[in-house]
């Protein structure tokens, strides 16, 4: 199909064998897969392909009963998979994972695998780009992050060293999409273990359904460990969904200490990872039942990996003392040099190229015993009267309420003062919702707000509270904060619209 060294090939699909065949086939030909979310909107796919530029081919999963063919129909104007589309000028071919009558003329992965071609594959340079992954896109168009073949091997080794239990005998449940760094088959390649996955984790009708499906698969396949996001573990505990496993592995920007309650109830051990698409896995810590009484913080900290350096700075780039909050900077052997479709801020780019330090816009601190505590995204901070705090402090209190399934606290701008005050999106237990006034009274009591410290109400008590049945998710499985903001903006009263804005 004419894939040559350096070509970028779009790849989108479920966790099926055709995805793996296409991914490794493109890499062996010298090309580079651009991993796109499955069932993304046509306009978003178009923006992504054009933002990266020179994407000459799209290999895609038509989906169950061809439900995903709308994307290919949107861009394909000619037969035999040939493309002539003004909206994506560089695109030349579309290949399907398997035949579908809506695109009967397109080539398929199975068809290409059956061909015998007398070709000599190119010798791969370890420093060639071998994989392009995407950031979550929670704040706009996802950022395209290139990784070399060498970097993929390093990531695989890191996965092996962090998650290994018994070489060749491990069974890991991980339903994250192959296209996402947390779901890319690096661990399986390095550890030679067995992975149990879901074809499409987004197929579930609700988070409860997703947890039950995962639980059934973990039990049926006798998985030793499972990668489960914090919200799934919290929901399993609150709904008392039966799940028992040796080790639960979880990851997130912020991991609350309340998650330790899953030890002995759900797992024997809880492993917390910290990482990012740009630089891979950066830190880890394993907790057991003995740690429940020892943990003194509201969050769970991680120990930076041996291949990682961490420092905390103030807004001027000066080092902060131990225990002092600030900006997290990371330097790793897994080098990140920039995005394919976004420009780094000049100061960040200069720092990265000069010294290798990357500024991910996370905030936190380092404790006296060398643990890194990640408190949240800096752009999500609550800021009132010059005081700053992270949303998790309010989220912890809301989530402690027995009728709450999950809560997200987001800053909303007070147009009169310029402060960023808290707002809350909450999923309640069915038929057990609180009124906004009732939840606000609960928070005033929990934060001990009285007539003597009334100004603290602006900092700790959300002025806007919106109930959700479920939180919208991005195609990679992360919560869509932008969609949550837009929904909350629409729910503002006329009075609130005059003085509050998520924009």
**Residues contacting residue 479 through CB under 8 Å, at least 6 positions apart:** 138, 408, 471, 472, 473
Q: Is the pLDDT of residue 383 over 70?
A: yes
Report pLDDT digits (tens) over 196-217. Answer: 998 887 677 677 888 899 999 9
Highest mean pLDDT among 12-26, 104-118, 387-401: 12-26
Distance CA 76, CA 219 (A): 43
Q: How confident is the model at residue 168, as a pLDDT?
A: 58
Q: How confident is the model at residue 164, as a pLDDT?
A: 67
For residues 252-257, average pLDDT:
80
More confident residue, 149 or 387: 149
Q: Is the pLDDT of residue 240 over 60?
A: yes
Q: Is the pLDDT of residue 24 over 70?
A: yes
Q: Is the pLDDT of residue 98 over 80?
A: yes
Rounded to the nearest 10 degrees, how much is the dihedral formed by the CA atoms of 117, 122, 127, 132? -20
For residues 425-439, average pLDDT:
93
Q: Is the pLDDT of residue 154 over 70?
A: yes
For residues 151-157, average pLDDT:
89
Rounded to the nearest 10 degrees, how much is the dihedral formed by the CA atoms of 275, 276, 281, 282? -60
Q: Is the pLDDT of residue 79 over 60?
A: no
Average per-residue pLDDT for the chain:
86
For residues 441-463, average pLDDT:
86
Q: Say which range, 157-171, 229-243, 390-404, 430-444, has the weakest mean pLDDT.
A: 157-171
Q: What is the DSSP letter of 54?
A: -
Specify whether the CB–CB gap between 172 and 193 falls below 8 A: yes
Q: How confident is the model at residue 82, as a pLDDT?
A: 61
What is the architecture of the domain spanning 148-377? 3-Layer(aba) Sandwich (3.40)
**8-124 and 148-377 share one CATH topology?**
yes
For residues 430-436, average pLDDT:
92
Q: For the domain 381-501, what is the CATH code? A: 3.30.300.30
SS (H, E, C) 240-303: CCCCCEEEEEEECCCCEHHHHHHECCCEEEEEEEEEECCCEEEEEEEECHHHCCCCCCCECCEE
pLDDT > 90 in the chain, percent:
38
Q: Say which range, 215-219, 234-238, 312-316, 423-427, has the weakest mean pLDDT.
A: 234-238
Provide the CB-side half-sphere exposure for 41 (13 A, CA).
Answer: 5
More confident residue, 270 or 229: 270
- Most distant CA pair in the chain: distance in Å? 83
Q: Is the pLDDT of residue 81 over 60?
A: no
More confident residue, 65 or 144: 144
Q: Is the pLDDT of residue 169 over 80?
A: no
Distance CA 276, CA 279 (A): 6
Domain-by-domain residue ranges, the chain? 8-124, 148-377, 381-501
Q: How confident is the model at residue 40, as a pLDDT?
A: 74
Q: Is the pLDDT of residue 351 over 90?
A: no
Q: How confident is the model at residue 417, as a pLDDT?
A: 74
**Residues contacting residue 451 through CB under 8 Å, at least 6 positions apart:** none
| CA-wise closest residue to 234 among 202, 260, 205 | 260
pLDDT > 70 in the chain, percent:
94
Report helix, strand or coil for 53.
coil
Distance CA 174, CA 147 (A): 22
Q: How confident is the model at residue 311, as a pLDDT?
A: 95
Report helix, strand or coil for 69.
helix
More confident residue, 348 or 261: 261
Q: What are the C-alpha distances in Å from 221 to residues 123, 194, 218?
A: 39, 10, 5
| CA-wise closest residue to 312 among 254, 362, 275 | 362
Report pLDDT digits (tens) over 279-301. Answer: 888 999 999 999 988 887 888 99
More confident residue, 165 or 338: 338
What is the architecture of the domain spanning 8-124? 3-Layer(aba) Sandwich (3.40)
Q: How confident is the model at residue 388, as a pLDDT?
A: 76
């Amino acid at each position: 199909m004419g894939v040559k060294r350096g070509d970028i090939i779009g790849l989108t699909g479920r966790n099926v064998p055709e995805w793996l065949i296409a991914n490794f086939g493109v890499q062996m030909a010298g090309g580079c897969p651009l991993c796109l979310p499955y069932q993304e909107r046509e306009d978003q796919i178009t923006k992504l392909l054009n933002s990266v530029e020179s994407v000459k081919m799209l290999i895609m999963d038509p989906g169950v009963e061809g439900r995903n063919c709308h994307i290919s129909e949107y861009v394909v104007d000619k037969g035999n998979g040939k493309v002539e589309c003004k909206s994506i000028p560089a695109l030349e071919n579309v290949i399907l994972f398997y035949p579908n009558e809506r695109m009967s003329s397109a080539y398929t992965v199975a068809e290409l695998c059956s061909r015998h071609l007398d070709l000599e594959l190119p010798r791969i340079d370890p420093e060639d780009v071998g994989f392009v992954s995407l950031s979550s896109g929670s704040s706009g168009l996802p950022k395209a992050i290139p990784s070399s073949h060498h970097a993929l091997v390093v990531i695989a080794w890191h996965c092996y060293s962090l998650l290994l239990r018994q070489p060749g005998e491990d069974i890991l449940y991980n339903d994250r999409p192959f296209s996402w760094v947390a779901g890319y088959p690096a661990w399986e390649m390095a550890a030679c273990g067995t992975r149990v996955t879901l074809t499409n984790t987004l197929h579930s009708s609700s988070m409860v359904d997703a947890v039950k499906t995962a639980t059934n698969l973990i039990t049926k396949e006798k998985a030793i460990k499972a990668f489960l996001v914090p919200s799934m573990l919290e929901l399993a505990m609150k709904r008392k969904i039966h799940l028992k496993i040796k080790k639960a592995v979880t990851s997130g920007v912020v991991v609350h200490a309340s998650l330790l309650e899953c030890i002995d109830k759900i797992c024997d051990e809880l492993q917390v990872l910290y990482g990012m698409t740009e630089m891979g896995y950066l830190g880890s810590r394993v907790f057991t039942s003995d740690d429940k009484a020892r943990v003194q913080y509201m969050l769970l900290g991680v120990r930076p990996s041996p291949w990682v350096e961490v420092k905390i700075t103030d807004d001027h780039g000066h080092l902060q003392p131990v225990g002092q909050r600030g900006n997290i900077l990371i330097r790793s052997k897994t080098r990140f040099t920039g995005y394919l479709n976004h420009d780094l801020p000049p100061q960040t780019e200069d720092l990265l190229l000069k010294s290798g330090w990357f500024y991910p816009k996370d905030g936190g601190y380092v404790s006296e015993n060398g643990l890194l505590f990640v408190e949240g995204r800096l752009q999500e901070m609550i800021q009132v009267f010059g005081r700053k705090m992270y949303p998790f402090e309010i989220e912890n209190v809301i989530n402690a309420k027995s009728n709450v399934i999950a809560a997200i606290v987001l800053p909303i701008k007070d147009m009169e003062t310029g402060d960023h005050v808290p707002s809350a999106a909450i999923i309640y237990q069915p038929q057990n919702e609180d009124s906004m006034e009732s939840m606000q009274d609960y928070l005033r009591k929990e934060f001990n707000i009285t007539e003597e410290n009334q100004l603290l109400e602006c900092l700790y008590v959300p002025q806007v509270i919106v109930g959700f049945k479920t939180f919208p998710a991005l195609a990679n499985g992360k919560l869509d904060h932008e969609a949550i903001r837009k929904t909350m903006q629409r729910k503002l009263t006329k009075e609130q619209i005059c003085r509050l804005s998520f924009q």
